[in-house]
Structure 1
Amino acid sequence: MPLYEHVLIARQDLSNAQAEGLIEHFTTVLADNGGKVVDREYWGVKTMAYKINKNRKGHYAFLRTDAPSAAVQEMERLARLHDDVMRIMTVKVDAHDEGPSVQMQKRDEREPRRDRR
């Protein structure tokens, strides 16, 4: 099955438990449609670069999935209809990276930036 990475942004006025419940809801949607969540991360409340629906901040969540495209389309459809989800971005990847995402790594654990010259 194809591999995907999803980033969800939920409203800032949700509690952490509600945001985790939202992630769990979309995990079950994928599982019900024949997919599985390989890894999931809750990044917390972060400030956005611009306002979305009059919100400056949002709860960020990251999912790595192994699911058929029909399951991903159903999850995205339900996310667009859900009032608490402001944005969702899905990217198809060739392989999942091992370990935590870049957002969860400490600065000294990351690979150094390459020189631009």
Structure 2
Amino acid sequence: MAFYEHVLISRPDISPAQVESQIEELAEWLKSQGAKIGKTEYWGLRNLSYPINKQRKGHYSLLNIDGPAAAVHELERRHRISDDVIRYLTVKVDELDEEPSPVMGRKDRGPRKD
């Protein structure tokens, strides 16, 4: 099995609770396909760098996946046909990092000292 980091951007007009349930459903489906989910993170409603489908914001989420390539390909196919998904990106990595991602740690940092 291979390790993947999967970032998902959902439409801004759905609630954070709906995004969480969407991620839980994806995780359950991946588990049924033989994959293991390392960690999931909800990064919140963030501004996009450029408008996508006339949307300027999106709900960002991260999934760490340890699973077969076929399951990841099917996951991406499901994202392509889903109306709730604006964009997704899957990156194959050498190992999964179980620590909080840098996006989550940004809140803990103090002011910059230049």
Is structure 2 residue 60 aligned with structure 1 residue 64? Answer: no
1:10/1:87 contact within 8 Å kept: yes
Q: Deviations over 1:15-51 (max 9, x none)?
A: 0111111111211221121101110000000000000
Corresponding residue of 2:30: 30
Question: Which consecutive residues of structure 1, in runs of 5 or more, have no partner in the other structure?
Answer: 110-117
Alignment of 1:7-86 (within 5 A): 7-86=7-86
Q: 1:99-114 counterparts in 2 under 5 A?
A: 99-106=99-106, 108=109
Q: CA deviation at 1:97?
A: 1.8
Gaps of 5+ in 2: none
Secondary structure in 2 matching 1:70: helix
What do you get for the CA RMSD once the two structures are aligned?
A: 1.3
Kindly tell me the number of residue pairs found equivalent between the two proteins: 109
Asked whether the 8 Å contact 2:3–2:67 carries over to 1, the reply is yes
Q: Percent identity?
A: 50
1:44-80 per-residue CA deviation (whole Å, 9 max, x = no partner) reads: 0000000011100000000001010011011111111
